Amino acid sequence: MTTREIKVRKGEKVRDAWERLVRWVDSLQIIPDDGIDVRVTPHGTIVRVRDHQMFRHPFRVMVSGSSVRVSPGTVNDLIPVITENAIKRRIDNRDKDGNRETGKDYPALKLDTKKASKDGRIYISLKVKQSVSGGISGVKENKAGEQVSDNVEIVQTDSAKGPLDGFGYYPLAFLRASSDGGSIEEVFQIVHHNIRYEFQERRPSEADLKKDPNAKAAGRHLFIPT
């Protein structure tokens, strides 16, 4: 019997439609397996479906010992880099031309637990250098036609805002170090999506320049989940 057969027909008696629906329900069989748990109780049957699939979202932060790896995600379609042994490597384990780096593990960020905040928090953050046009600085195309830039980097910061050094910072996750700083006790994921970045520049007004002739342009770094 299909679902088309159990639909109520125009002018049909309710009793007849109901009995047909009951026959259809009685014909259903649920077979228990690793993904389906069937439990019969005096008050009815309970069916539970186990979902083993995980949402493999962008920028998932994973910690092992003092190393942090981040699953691939994009900022304005750019793949961020991690500085590993003084070399900037894309977090998707590809070179600047988009080719898979064979024989290498995904890059890992070495943690410095001494730089944790007073309550033991360490933030894993995006660091972006803005361009004059309001986007990201240093963007160019590689041989594969992808846009690339080393100016989107994943770094460790001691706060969600990051240092006041002119770069844009956006936290991906925060870690909580143990009281002795010897291990990471907690990983709290903040970001689950790719990111769009914009920089809104505010140039000093005439009034600002009268107060301070050397006043520099300021602005806001906007990080928008997409």
Q: Which carries the bigger pLDDT value, residue 197 or residue 209?
A: 197
Taking Cα atoms as reference points, which of 106, 56, 88 lies closest to residue 154?
88
pLDDT at 33 exceeding the cut of 90: no
* 202 or 76, which is more confident: 76
Q: How confident is the prediction for the chain on average, in pLDDT?
A: 87
Measured over the CA atoms of residue 156, residue 159, residue 161 and residue 167, the dihedral's sign is negative
pLDDT at 68: 95
7-21, 31-45, 117-131, 193-207: which has the minimum mean pLDDT? 31-45
Is the pLDDT assigned to residue 9 strictly greater than 90?
Answer: no
Q: How confident is the model at residue 132 (pLDDT cuts 50, 70, 90)?
A: confident
Residues 96-129: tens digit of each pLDDT: 999 999 889 999 999 998 888 888 899 999 999 9
Answer yes or no: are the C-beta atoms of 116 and 181 closer than 8 Å: yes
Residue 36 to residues 43, 47, 91, 144, Cα–Cα distance (Å):
19, 7, 37, 45
Mean pLDDT of the region 189-216 = 85
Tell me: pLDDT of 1 over 60.
no
pTM: 0.71
Residue 32 is predicted with a pLDDT of 61
Helix, strand, or coil here: 14?
helix
Distance (Å, whole) CA 111 – CA 124: 9
**72, pLDDT greater than 70:** yes
